[in-house]
Structure 1
Amino acid sequence: MRRPVLVLAGVDVRLVPAALGAWAVAAWGVTAGPGATVVAALGAVALAGVAARRWPRVALVAVAVAAVATSVTWRLGDVRATPTAALAEQRARVTLEVQVSRDGRTFEGVGGPGTVVGLVVLRLRDQRGRVHGVRDPVTAFLVGEHRDLVVGRRLTVDGRLSPADDDQDTATLRVERRSAVQGSAWWWSASERVRAGVRHAVDHVPGAPAALVPALVVGDDADLSPRVEEEFRRTGLTHLLAVSGTNLTIVLALVLAVARAGRAPPRVLLAVGLLGVVGFVLLARPEPSVLRAAGMGVVGLAALGLGSRGGVRTLCVAVVALLFCDPWLSRAAGFVLSVSATAGILLLAPPFVRALERWAPRWVAVAVAVPLAAQAACTPVIAALSSEVSVVAVVANLLAAPAVAPATVLGLVAGLLDLVVPSVASVLGTAAAACAGWIVLVAHHAAALPGASLVWPYPWWWLLGVVPVVLWLGRRAASRPVVATGLVLGLCLAMLRPPSPGWPPPGWVMVQCDVGQGDATVLRSGQDEAVVVDAGLEPVDVDRCLRGLGVRRIPALVLTHGDADHVGGRSGVAGGRAVGAVLVGRPGPTVPGVPTRTVSRGDRLVVGDVTADVLWPRAQPTTRARRIEVDRNADSVVLRVVVRGVTLLLTGDVGEEAQEHVLRAGSVVRADVLKVAHHGSADTSWRFTRAVAPRLATVSVGAENDYGHPTGTALRMLRQVGAVVHRTDHEGDVAVVVRDGRLSVVSRGSGQRSR
């Protein structure tokens, strides 16, 4: 007698519990340690044995859990029990023979560019001359740009090891000296030539389209500007900038179409498809995101042949297999988004297609339902990551979708032809760039809409209940053309003139943005414009704050000093906004295309309603700053600002010594509002706090940060001078408001950022 198949709404969900169980044990196991995962694996094996006859579905879950727990145990033990890990604990200097496992990526550090690259250690020689043959993954950091560090190449490096920041790595390596690279295996050399061919085929095209084509084809987004990346993020098009299942599906569709045109039999088609997957992984690099894309792309193809019922089953198998190969994917945002989007398309798109088909052509129904389903499934995850809900994402994806496949296919063919016929490749590259140009145009204009995305001030998990209700209502409305048209018009109105219930509060003069463990302060200088002081660590956080305030023009961006938690998000300030000038106290980070001006004590800035006097630093570096170059806090820009009669003191990260210097210089520091220095560090002056005597104090600080900020010392000082303290980790964005000549504070729910 055949057992009944477990079906929910016409979908085979028998493997869903197994996939969820494997996911849960992987997410727990990578932080719990090998001892705990051994116990979990043995317990799951015992459960599988007991349940095998009477409860086969329970046994299936137990087998999946046991497999993944065993993989976690083995991987953790393999990473930790090596000579490399032991030497990392000692922070030893070593000489290593290594092979590049992840292409080097250039980043902009405070002291200049640097490169981070993934390496596999093959041979290790310690300070005593002992040689160890190993195969350990490490992440290495080098000063300067090193574009020759691509996957597969070998070299010798000297440097200092330290404990890894990531459980996937054995150690972190600071490279002090390196050799020239040696050749790599033929398959890596071939893939690099194709990647270079894609870049070469479009390098005659100016601007963002040429940079986007390599990102679409092979995930190479190194030349994309921060502004374009931010526009893609705001419009829900970020998935196009990294290798995804969509890329593989497009490539496989092309490969299989060519094979079918040659009347290949089914077995040959299968072989060609598998070779296409292998070639794609080699071309785009076997990084976790690419392996995830390969799994999700195969799921997409399976769904084309098996429907959503078989597609969900295949998705579950892919999840378990990927987690077995790489358990750390369980905690990767990209993996969560990929699985969510794929599940959304398989489960949610068909009912919406059926509802829309009652009055619209099928191709229109599919074009609308697929991005809608994917975005709806990803909405809770996106809100958890960014505290935002994208409104324009469905429309942007709908408009951009027709150009994605042509740009990808033309770019790939151009890269292949560049190896033999560069002139023809340039023609195809021009066509690919034209398609990419349309995608860039969609992202640019969609991101400029005031309501492109809305802040979600509540816990993200509320959306697990809200989204299904909205989808149920939306599906009922989709079958009625009048109601559906009304909803679309309402959505368009929300994007053009978004509602802003209670925010920004009327009469606001200053907002301390919730950017986690960093600083970003907004001073209102006029209608739709503000002076911004510091930019936090992540562009997304400060951009969210500025959009919530309706700021479109920034006459001046003040970067108090060069620490990453103050300047790392500057592209989020400049993205889509006109920035007049960047003001700094010492030479440091800049904003491309924006003039930079150095300010010092005695300078004054007047912009609209904002009048700011610079109290620090002095025109020449302090003796301490010259002696200890890494202490940039001592030279933070300190501003005394007046906005609509309210006096504010913004102190950057100055410590007690610099605060005492400001007082000895005779500066007037008394203020109504104090932006507390250095996130409430204990390195603060009692004399300085008493001289400021603020009525209100704001502390920009990350929830549960590792520094203990704000400290009890700083809070006691503020209470003793009668200041009411408002913290971003507890209250979110904090706005100082003037109403009828009285100061008050309005806060906007915290996202509890822990950075």
Structure 2
Amino acid sequence: MPALDLRLAIPALGCWSITGVGLLCPRGVLVAVVLTMMVLSLAGALAGAMVGGVAGIGAPVVLATTGLTFGVGVALLIRADRVDAHPLRQLDGGTAAVVLRATEDPRVSTANPDVVWLRAQVHSVDDRPVPAASVIVFAPRQGGDQARWLDLGVGQPVRALVVVRVPDGRGLVVARLTARGPPAVVGAAPAYLRVSESVRVRFREVCAHTVGHREAGLLPGLVVGDTSMGEATVDEQFRRAGLTHLLAVSGANFALIVGAAVLLIGVAGGSIPLTVGAGLAATISFAVLVQLSPSVIRAAIMGGVGLLAMAASRGRSALPALAAAVVLGLLVWPELAVDLGFAMSVVATAALIVWSPPVRDRLIGLGLPRGPADAVAMATVAYVVTAPLVAAISGQVSLSAILANLAVAPAVPVATLLGAAAMLLAAPDVRALTALARVLVTACEPALRWILVVARVLGGGWAAIPTAPGWLLGIGVAVLVGRTLRRRRRVGSRRPDGGLARLEP
């Protein structure tokens, strides 16, 4: 197995760590860490040869890690200082009329179904423009107010009367706002967001008029992560079967849809610059269409880095691309450092890069064909590394996740690609194209039904166990996989004469 390229992965971990410290700890802790990184960077620059011997990592990596971590920490301190000085914080405990834009879809609180909450950016306070800043809005049930907040579109400016509460000084959220009435629309969302929402609405309409209600709720979720037409019972079955990730856009969606666009341009004879340009355009368009969730940000940046590497005619390396995605994502959206969804996405991707090939080779050595070995290895590794995070998020872990993911693996790409093509055809609202889109949605129906059957059969009440046993299960399987890899490494290091070769660190 080729050596892993960790030159960018280690600095990425440093950036992630200091960003997490800055968001979770008091400002003084962040200042201390930044000063420590500054000292280490200066010491490394003055004594590169000595520092380069640390753990065999190499002086450039050590210097890059300390220097980049220091830079990210300073940038975070500057942002934190701006948050502390924001005018909205002067109204702690008071009431204000604010103009804000939602940055993601509103949702009902799982802790209290009578409350809707959303992340937003505030742009005006009591008719005075203020620097754009992140806020969290809570809207208690008051007549029809809750429904009007739920209908709020991303990017749509609204005016609302709110009570201001300032957080404890950690993180980059300026304030927590409690709505005292419904939102009043005062403008339109940016054009690209309106187009995106129009495409999603048209796709939902085509699905609703073409296939059964459960299939119609599932297909938009597979293609663009739109679960607005899903059923609570189906969502619960998916959760217990370990299939929830299918309804949240991830790297798999980007690989399928953007990869298809790149392949079509390549087959048509397009040059490398044209192919890369088409891939980047497809990546940006798809990211805007599905909205910038943590997994979407990571997948989009990672795909963009890979495409740029192709343009530079350099060999693409998955781990450096992932590390670059983490660094760029944290620089633009520091809140990702403490987002469990982002952590799950990164950890799963890294595990597939590092663990999946040796596990696959081990299964092939046991007599399993390459195709099934690849599928089993990917499903097993992804389950093992994400089980603790799933337990932390949902309070339970699925016992049937590996089997369920293997069962739906052939159907998901079919439904996703056909559904994406149908969505594009339905977007212009032209009768002939809409009819063709409905044909493609109908072609998705067998795959959608199979996925729903798997979720129903393998997502029963027996399929989930509480958090504590789930952690133990994840640790136990991780140990088993680790022992398998270690055994493979020992076997692979044997000389032809029966001796053992020295293992390189």
Structure whose CA Rg is larger: 1
What is residue 447 of structure 2 aligned with on the other side? Answer: 435
Using the TM superposition, give the Cα deviation of residue 96 of structure 1 relative to its aligned residue in structure 2, in angstroms.
2.0
What is residue 223 of structure 1 aligned with on the other side? Answer: 229
In the alignment, the residues of structure 1 paired with residue 2 and residue 84 of structure 2 have an alpha-carbon distance, to the nearest angstrom, of 46
In the alignment, the residues of structure 1 paired with residue 404 and residue 114 of structure 2 have an alpha-carbon distance, to the nearest angstrom, of 34
Instruction: Tell me whether 1:423 sits opposite 2:435 in the alignment.
Output: yes
Instruction: Tell me whether 1:40 sits opposite 2:33 in the alignment.
Output: yes
Q: For 1:158, which of 156, 161, 168 is the aligned residue?
A: 161
In structure 2, relative to structure 1, the CA distance for the partners of 1:185 and 1:456 (3 Å cut) is closer
In structure 2, relative to structure 1, the CA distance for the partners of 1:68 and 1:425 (3 Å cut) is same
Instruction: Using the aligned pairs only, state the percent identity.
Output: 31
SS in 2 for 1:23: helix
Using the TM superposition, give the Cα deviation of residue 300 of structure 1 relative to its aligned residue in structure 2, in angstroms.
8.1
What is residue 420 of structure 2 aligned with on the other side? Answer: 412
Query: 8 Å contact 2:14–2:69 — kept in the other structure?
Result: yes
SS in 2 for 1:395: helix
Moved more, 382-391 or 39-48: 382-391
Which residue identity lines up with residue 471 of structure 1 in the other structure?
V
In the alignment, the residues of structure 2 paired with residue 220 and residue 386 of structure 1 have an alpha-carbon distance, to the nearest angstrom, of 20
Using the TM superposition, give the Cα deviation of residue 164 of structure 1 relative to its aligned residue in structure 2, in angstroms.
4.6
What is residue 390 of structure 2 aligned with on the other side? Answer: 382
In structure 2, relative to structure 1, the CA distance for the partners of 1:193 and 1:283 (3 Å cut) is same
Which residue identity lines up with residue 131 of structure 1 in the other structure?
R
Count, aligned residues: 463
What is residue 494 of structure 2 aligned with on the other side? Answer: none
In the alignment, the residues of structure 1 paired with residue 279 and residue 287 of structure 2 have an alpha-carbon distance, to the nearest angstrom, of 13
Query: 8 Å contact 1:407–1:432 — kept in the other structure?
Result: yes
What is residue 295 of structure 1 aligned with on the other side? Answer: 301
Query: 8 Å contact 1:414–1:428 — kept in the other structure?
Result: yes
Using the TM superposition, give the Cα deviation of residue 312 of structure 1 relative to its aligned residue in structure 2, in angstroms.
1.8
Instruction: Tell me whether 1:124 sits opposite 2:125 in the alignment.
Output: yes
Query: After superposition, where does 1:298-697 map in structure 2 within 5 Å?
Result: 310-358=317-365, 359-386=367-394, 388-418=396-426, 419=428, 420=430, 421-448=433-460, 450=462, 452-455=463-466, 457=468, 460=471, 464=475, 466-474=476-484
Name stretches of at least 5 consecutive residues in structure 1 with no aligned partner: 1-7, 479-755
Could you report, residue by residue, the CA deviation over 1:576-610 in whole angstroms, capped at 9, with x for unpaired residues? Answer: xxxxxxxxxxxxxxxxxxxxxxxxxxxxxxxxxxx
In the alignment, the residues of structure 2 paired with residue 476 and residue 330 of structure 1 have an alpha-carbon distance, to the nearest angstrom, of 31
Moved more, 214-223 or 290-299: 290-299
Instruction: Tell me whether 1:261 sits opposite 2:252 in the alignment.
Output: no
What is residue 199 of structure 1 aligned with on the other side? Answer: 204
In the alignment, the residues of structure 2 paired with residue 47 and residue 229 of structure 1 have an alpha-carbon distance, to the nearest angstrom, of 49
Which residue identity lines up with residue 141 of structure 1 in the other structure?
F
TM-score (norm: length of structure 2): 0.82
Which residue identity lines up with residue 12 of structure 1 in the other structure?
D
Could you report, residue by residue, the CA deviation over 1:27-82 in whole angstroms, capped at 9, with x for unpaired residues? Answer: 22212234432342243133223213323222121023113312322332232321
Q: For 1:16, which of 2, 6, 9 is the aligned residue?
A: 9
What is residue 102 of structure 2 aligned with on the other side? Answer: 100
Q: For 2:278, which of 272, 278, 285 is the aligned residue?
A: 272
In the alignment, the residues of structure 1 paired with residue 2 and residue 271 of structure 2 have an alpha-carbon distance, to the nearest angstrom, of 35
Moved more, 184-193 or 299-308: 299-308
Could you report, residue by residue, the CA deviation over 1:391-428 in whole angstroms, capped at 9, with x for unpaired residues? Answer: 32111111111121222222222222112322222222
Query: After superposition, where does 1:45-84 map in structure 2 within 5 Å?
Result: 45-52=38-45, 53-54=48-49, 55-84=59-88
Instruction: Tell me whether 1:140 sits opposite 2:137 in the alignment.
Output: yes
Using the TM superposition, give the Cα deviation of residue 119 of structure 1 relative to its aligned residue in structure 2, in angstroms.
2.5
Which residue identity lines up with residue 185 of structure 1 in the other structure?
P
What is residue 732 of structure 1 aligned with on the other side? Answer: none
Which residue identity lines up with residue 227 of structure 2 in the other structure?
D
SS in 1 for 2:103: strand
Q: Which has the higher contact order (CA 8 A, sep 6+)?
A: 2
In the alignment, the residues of structure 2 paired with residue 18 and residue 385 of structure 1 have an alpha-carbon distance, to the nearest angstrom, of 27
In structure 2, relative to structure 1, the CA distance for the partners of 1:158 and 1:472 (3 Å cut) is closer
Which residue identity lines up with residue 162 of structure 2 in the other structure?
G
Using the TM superposition, give the Cα deviation of residue 199 of structure 1 relative to its aligned residue in structure 2, in angstroms.
0.8
Query: 8 Å contact 1:117–1:149 — kept in the other structure?
Result: no
In structure 2, relative to structure 1, the CA distance for the partners of 1:198 and 1:70 (3 Å cut) is farther
Using the TM superposition, give the Cα deviation of residue 460 of structure 1 relative to its aligned residue in structure 2, in angstroms.
4.0
Could you report, residue by residue, the CA deviation over 1:333-387 in whole angstroms, capped at 9, with x for unpaired residues? Answer: 1122111111111111111222333433322222222112211222333344456
Query: 8 Å contact 1:384–1:460 — kept in the other structure?
Result: no
Using the TM superposition, give the Cα deviation of residue 445 of structure 1 relative to its aligned residue in structure 2, in angstroms.
0.5
Using the TM superposition, give the Cα deviation of residue 476 of structure 1 relative to its aligned residue in structure 2, in angstroms.
9.0
SS in 2 for 1:357: helix
What is residue 500 of structure 2 aligned with on the other side? Answer: none
In the alignment, the residues of structure 1 paired with residue 358 and residue 424 of structure 2 have an alpha-carbon distance, to the nearest angstrom, of 40
In structure 2, relative to structure 1, the CA distance for the partners of 1:94 and 1:381 (3 Å cut) is closer
In the alignment, the residues of structure 2 paired with residue 461 and residue 58 of structure 1 have an alpha-carbon distance, to the nearest angstrom, of 35
In the alignment, the residues of structure 1 paired with residue 483 and residue 246 of structure 2 have an alpha-carbon distance, to the nearest angstrom, of 29
Using the TM superposition, give the Cα deviation of residue 178 of structure 1 relative to its aligned residue in structure 2, in angstroms.
3.0
In structure 2, relative to structure 1, the CA distance for the partners of 1:416 and 1:386 (3 Å cut) is closer
Which residue identity lines up with residue 449 of structure 2 in the other structure?
G
In structure 2, relative to structure 1, the CA distance for the partners of 1:72 and 1:208 (3 Å cut) is farther
In the alignment, the residues of structure 2 paired with residue 308 and residue 23 of structure 1 have an alpha-carbon distance, to the nearest angstrom, of 26
Q: Which has the higher strand share?
A: 1
In the alignment, the residues of structure 2 paired with residue 467 and residue 298 of structure 1 have an alpha-carbon distance, to the nearest angstrom, of 34
TM-score (norm: length of structure 1): 0.56
SS in 2 for 1:116: strand
In the alignment, the residues of structure 2 paired with residue 372 and residue 471 of structure 1 have an alpha-carbon distance, to the nearest angstrom, of 9
Could you report, residue by residue, the CA deviation over 1:242-280 in whole angstroms, capped at 9, with x for unpaired residues? Answer: 121111111111211221122111111111121112111
RMSD: 3.3
In the alignment, the residues of structure 1 paired with residue 153 and residue 231 of structure 2 have an alpha-carbon distance, to the nearest angstrom, of 21
SS in 1 for 2:153: coil
What is residue 291 of structure 2 aligned with on the other side? Answer: 285
Q: For 2:184, which of 179, 182, 206 is the aligned residue?
A: 179
What is residue 4 of structure 1 aligned with on the other side? Answer: none
In the alignment, the residues of structure 1 paired with residue 361 and residue 309 of structure 2 have an alpha-carbon distance, to the nearest angstrom, of 17
SS in 1 for 2:387: helix
Moved more, 213-222 or 140-149: 140-149
Could you report, residue by residue, the CA deviation over 1:633-658 in whole angstroms, capped at 9, with x for unpaired residues? Answer: xxxxxxxxxxxxxxxxxxxxxxxxxx
Which residue identity lines up with residue 144 of structure 1 in the other structure?
Q
In structure 2, relative to structure 1, the CA distance for the partners of 1:439 and 1:459 (3 Å cut) is closer
Using the TM superposition, give the Cα deviation of residue 468 of structure 1 relative to its aligned residue in structure 2, in angstroms.
4.0
What is residue 496 of structure 2 aligned with on the other side? Answer: none
In structure 2, relative to structure 1, the CA distance for the partners of 1:300 and 1:445 (3 Å cut) is farther
In the alignment, the residues of structure 2 paired with residue 461 and residue 44 of structure 1 have an alpha-carbon distance, to the nearest angstrom, of 36
Query: 8 Å contact 2:101–2:122 — kept in the other structure?
Result: yes
In the alignment, the residues of structure 2 paired with residue 403 and residue 168 of structure 1 have an alpha-carbon distance, to the nearest angstrom, of 41
In the alignment, the residues of structure 2 paired with residue 34 and residue 192 of structure 1 have an alpha-carbon distance, to the nearest angstrom, of 39
Name stretches of at least 5 consecutive residues in structure 2 with no aligned partner: 50-58, 140-144, 489-505
Using the TM superposition, give the Cα deviation of residue 302 of structure 1 relative to its aligned residue in structure 2, in angstroms.
9.4
